[in-house]
């Protein structure tokens, strides 16, 4: 298969991280998660981590400038030449345009934007369960609801961004991990 560049969209708790892990193995491309990179920066106490921590804990978005910077740096690494799966980036219209501009400069483009759909109550149930298992600071119920509001306001418009470019593929995130994985593979062909 030629290089595959995928954007994975969907509300928090839709299963992006879980599906991305399986999918990147299947496709042989790196899993690029800005959330993972930011959590690593927080843990390491870097200047970016120090800035991002309170924002992340509150369920708000880290500034476009910071996130675009780390995403661009990561996508410029050698292993991303075979393609990549972006998980959690872009999350705003500005980020989507920055990504498109970056890829334009490299004479590349996104092949598909895969979006996992899940209703809000299913999201809250899943994330509360994840909170028990992983102990993420932003998986408290109030923060989960704030992240859903942020998703609806800032990120959901990106569905139109990618639909307008004929790149959008919607897959239901309901059901088991395997069921969703099968649906994704079928959708990617």
Catalytic residues: 16, 91, 130, 136, 147
Q: Please select the residue that binds ligand AMP; options are 21, 22, 55, 102, rule is CB under 6 A.
A: 55
CB of residue 92 to ligand AMP, shortest distance in Å: 6
128: contact with ligand AMP by CB under 6 A: no
Cα–Cα distance list, 54 to 4, 38, 39, 57, 101 (Å): 34, 12, 12, 5, 29
13: contact with ligand AMP by CB under 6 A: no
99: contact with ligand AMP by CB under 6 A: no
Q: Closest CB to ligand AMP among 6 and 67? A: 67
31: contact with ligand AMP by CB under 6 A: no
Question: What are the counts of helices (DSSP H) followed by strands (DSSP E) for the chain?
Answer: 9, 5
> 81-84: which pairs have CB atoms within 8 A and are 24 or more residues apart?
81/3, 82/3, 82/28, 82/29, 82/30, 83/3, 83/4, 83/5, 83/6, 83/27, 83/29, 83/111, 84/5, 84/6, 84/29, 84/30, 84/31, 84/32
19: contact with ligand AMP by CB under 6 A: no
Contact stretch for ligand AMP (CB under 6 A) within 57-65, 74-82, 110-118, 164-172: 57-65
Contacting residues toward ligand AMP, per CB under 6 A: 12, 34-35, 38, 55-56, 59-62, 67, 88-89, 91, 95, 138, 147
């Amino acid at each position: 298969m030629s290089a595959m560049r995928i954007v994975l969209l969907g509300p928090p708790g839709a299963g992006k991280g879980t599906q991305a892990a399986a999918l990147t193995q299947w496709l042989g491309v790196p899993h690029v998660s800005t959330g993972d990179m930011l959590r690593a920066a927080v843990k390491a106490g870097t200047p970016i981590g120090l800035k991002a921590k309170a924002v992340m804990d509150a369920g708000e978005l880290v500034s476009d400038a910071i996130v675009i910077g780390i995403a661009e740096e990561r996508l410029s690494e050698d292993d991303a030449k075979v393609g990549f799966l972006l998980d959690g980036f872009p999350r705003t219209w500005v980020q989507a345009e920055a990504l498109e501009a970056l890829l334009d400069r490299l004479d590349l483009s996104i092949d598909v934007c895969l979006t996992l759909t899940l209703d809000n109550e299913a999201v809250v149930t899943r994330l509360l369960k994840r909170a028990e298992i992983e102990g993420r600071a932003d998986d408290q119920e109030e923060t989960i609801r704030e992240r859903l509001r942020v998703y609806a306001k800032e990120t959901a418009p990106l569905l139109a961004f990618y639909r307008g470019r004929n790149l959008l593929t919607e897959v239901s995130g309901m059901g088991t991990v395997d069921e969703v994985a099968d649906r994704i593979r079928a959708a990617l062909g």
